[in-house]
Structure 1
Amino acid sequence: MRNIMITRGWIVSTVLAGCLMGGSCSKQDTASLNAGIPTASFIYNELTPSSASSADNLELISTSTGSMKAYWTVLDDQGASVGEYVGDTVRLALTFAGDYTVKMAAGGPGGLSDTVQQSVHIAQDNTYAVGSTTLLGILSGAGLGKKERTWVPDRVLSTVIVWDTYANALGQINGGGGAWWAFGPGEIATDGSGRDGYFDDKFTFTFGKTGQMIYDDNNTVYLDNGGSGWTKALPAPWNSFQGTTSSTALYDLVPALKPWGSGTFGYAVSAAPAGEMKLGTITIKGKGGHFGLADKINGAEEVTPTASSVTYDVLQIDTDKVDDNGVHYDVLSIGVHYDASGDVFTFMLRSDR
């Protein structure tokens, strides 16, 4: 008889998982004829994460009576599910600081207990909860245990490419050729004749639930002799000027361009397999926000900044490269379809480790 009762208990506990996670069964449906329904209770501990392999910052412990197994649901402050878990002791790696709701029910031979819940406060963001190879981890530096990370245009050939498809642009990024147009030796020159007004730009991504992208144009902007729509529309003599000049002076002359200057913007990351290349997307939020050339947005080239956001496809991620000086760095290659035909601009951004 004892063996039969144990078997019933395990059958019941299996059914209980479905009950807690949204099934329609009741206590009477799942109760054993000879056992009482468990009484659910639990405690929790906030843990201190110390590394990627020890990233847990919350421990949930069932203190229920008459229970064989505990079933948990964790919700964020918006009521969205963080995850569902089974076990008398569960450890979690929650990414962001804030208030979470933990719900638990205890299952046993007698059936499923009432659900109990507690509000749990996590005091600090947890960079270790973000995988080192995830897009957010790489972009924000969280994968390296950092709270922010700065990216700059990579001063290499083809760091900016204009072509018909991402696949073709990637071919050139990886050593091929044939693009309609791309940065060449003249653009990346370091003697002051190159596009220094672009290469000295800095894009700093902070880690957090409402992460920010801080853009610093270094008070410079590059003008291309009317080669793009926005420079062609500038008043003389700037519509025929080629070289780097003061962004502050230019934007004071043409105030409509000021949103392209230094500022703080929001950002959002959609992890793989989002995006055309299935490696994720990066969206810069806020009028004038960009990650590359400012006037290239989704489906258009702007003359003055109007878009409230720009979403870039991640094309390639190269991690832990080493330059000639022995510096370790990562490279993000991103792109945007900039016209109605679906043609692309692609950009390569570098961040040292």
Structure 2
Amino acid sequence: MRNIIKSTGQLGWALIAGCLLFSACSKEDTGSLEAIVPTPSFTSAALTPSEASASNVELINTSTQSMTAYWTVLDDAGNSVGTFTGDTVRLALTFAGTYTVKMAAGGPGGLSDTIQQAVTVDKDNVYAVGPTTLLGILTGAALGKTSRTWKADRVVSTVIVWDTYDNCLGQINGGAGAWWAFGPGEIATDGSGRDGYFDDTYTFNFAKVGKMVYDDHNTVYLDNGGSGWTKALPTPWNTTQATVSSTTLYDAVPALKPWGSGTFGYTIAAAPAGELKQGTITITGKGGHFGLQDKINNAEEVTPTANAVTYDVLEMKTDQVDASGKHYDMLAIGVHYDADGNVFTFMMRSDR
């Protein structure tokens, strides 16, 4: 029993001595051990994007007592651009506009309240678009351009009619056997071919609100009543097989004018959208098209009525070289044109 009491006494004296030696045992000093929650603040700076670095905005955490910062960025429609972590964050924002930046700072005492600021981007950023993306290739942003012009590739597989996209792609890439495709007569360059189709151009701009300028160069090809819309034309147009003036034809048949030159809208859905998961391109506005004008989703028009046509992207190839040595990019698109799901496909090219 004596030994137990002795041990207890030694422990008690040790505790008393500890309190005498260390003033932290006093009530007044307990506050000095509490961790502090950061006071949040940040600044932003505009950067000049380039091919080497696509960043056009820098966010800098200036909070006190902060260990790191957590960011959320929204576009001017309230859609999330992304979430980021770090005291300095560089962003490659694609389009001009006012973005909302939200930030909370984390520190030893926990996470601060969230603050936000409006950050304005003055110019569209072509460098923010990847070189192999649909938007980048279609608009030329992948090449540092703000617009790009496409036209039908003058090859026999430029227009194919078949039952599936896969079969069409087989012919595009060297196979054969389609129900129907352009042949040597269609692509002839001596004036007997479909020049009224091959001289059409489609120019896509790089912008948040996409515009496509279609130019038919005052020509249109008539196929001797071989398609529904040309068969329905009045005499002598319904028995004409030649490239003719689109202005003259559309003045004679005003209902066809929306198929002529004009400015249309476009939207894209990036991969994995679309039947082949390569994306889609939708041309908006009555008469807008990207290929043969009468081929729309699940129908062939006699006169233009559709306000939008959505094309599946089948294939994209960059930096191809033709027989003359020209470098170009190729875009293959398609549309199901009847109730059975059969397809028209179109090969387009844009020179670099």
TM-score by length of 2: 0.90
Q: Which residue of 2 aligns with 1:46?
A: 46
Q: How many angstroms apart in 2 are the aligned matches of 1:81 and 1:172?
A: 41
**Structure 1 residue 325, shift from structure 2 partner:** 2.2
Q: How many angstroms apart in 1 are the aligned matches of 2:350 and 2:34?
A: 65
Secondary structure of 1:315's counterpart equals strand
Q: Which amino acid aligns with 2:47?
A: L
**Structure 1 residue 158, shift from structure 2 partner:** 1.4
Q: How many angstroms apart in 2 are the aligned matches of 1:209 and 1:181?
A: 38
Q: Which residue of 2 aligns with 1:3?
A: none
- Does 2:192 correspond to 1:162? no
Q: Which residue of 2 aligns with 1:199?
A: 198
Secondary structure of 2:176's counterpart equals coil
**Structure 1 residue 324, shift from structure 2 partner:** 2.2
The Cα offsets for residues 121-176 of structure 1, whole Å up to 9 and x where unpaired, read as 10000000000100000000000000000001000011100000001111111111
Secondary structure of 1:171's counterpart equals helix
**Structure 1 residue 111, shift from structure 2 partner:** 1.1
Q: Which residue of 2 aligns with 1:95?
A: 94
Q: How many angstroms apart in 2 are the aligned matches of 1:167 and 1:325?
A: 29
Q: Which residue of 1 aligns with 2:77?
A: 78
Q: Which residue of 2 aligns with 1:115?
A: 114
Q: How many angstroms apart in 2 are the aligned matches of 1:175 and 1:323?
A: 15
Q: Give 1:1-353 correspondences, 5 Å limit.
A: 34-51=34-51, 53-353=52-352
**Structure 1 residue 57, shift from structure 2 partner:** 0.1
Q: Which amino acid aligns with 1:42?
A: F
**Structure 1 residue 86, shift from structure 2 partner:** 0.4
Q: How many angstroms apart in 2 are the aligned matches of 1:266 and 1:62?
A: 40
Q: Which amino acid aligns with 2:35?
A: A
The Cα offsets for residues 284-313 of structure 1, whole Å up to 9 and x where unpaired, read as 011100000000000000001111100000
**Structure 1 residue 338, shift from structure 2 partner:** 0.2
**Structure 1 residue 36, shift from structure 2 partner:** 1.5
Q: How many angstroms apart in 2 are the aligned matches of 1:79 and 1:330?
A: 35
Q: Which residue of 2 aligns with 1:23?
A: none
Unmatched segments (≥5 aa) in structure 1: 1-32
Q: How many angstroms apart in 2 are the aligned matches of 1:58 and 1:302?
A: 47
Secondary structure of 1:239's counterpart equals helix
Q: How many angstroms apart in 2 are the aligned matches of 1:134 and 1:158?
A: 24
Q: Which amino acid aligns with 1:238?
A: W
Secondary structure of 2:235's counterpart equals coil
Q: Which amino acid aligns with 2:195?
A: D
TM-score by length of 1: 0.90
Q: How many angstroms apart in 2 are the aligned matches of 1:213 and 1:140?
A: 10
Q: How many angstroms apart in 2 are the aligned matches of 1:325 and 1:348?
A: 18
**Structure 1 residue 314, shift from structure 2 partner:** 0.6
Secondary structure of 2:277's counterpart equals coil
Q: How many angstroms apart in 2 are the aligned matches of 1:233 and 1:116?
A: 64
Greater Cα radius of gyration, structure 1 or 2: 2
Q: How many angstroms apart in 2 are the aligned matches of 1:260 and 1:126?
A: 32
Q: Which amino acid aligns with 1:350?
A: R
Q: How many angstroms apart in 2 are the aligned matches of 1:107 and 1:309?
A: 49
**Structure 1 residue 34, shift from structure 2 partner:** 2.1
The share of aligned pairs that are identical, in percent, is 76
Secondary structure of 1:294's counterpart equals coil
RMSD of aligned residue pairs (Cα, Å): 0.7
Q: How many angstroms apart in 1 are the aligned matches of 2:220 and 2:118?
A: 50
Q: How many angstroms apart in 2 are the aligned matches of 1:162 and 1:42?
A: 58
**Structure 1 residue 189, shift from structure 2 partner:** 0.2
Q: Which residue of 1 aligns with 2:23?
A: none
**Structure 1 residue 66, shift from structure 2 partner:** 1.0
Secondary structure of 1:340's counterpart equals coil
Q: How many angstroms apart in 2 are the aligned matches of 1:208 and 1:111?
A: 41
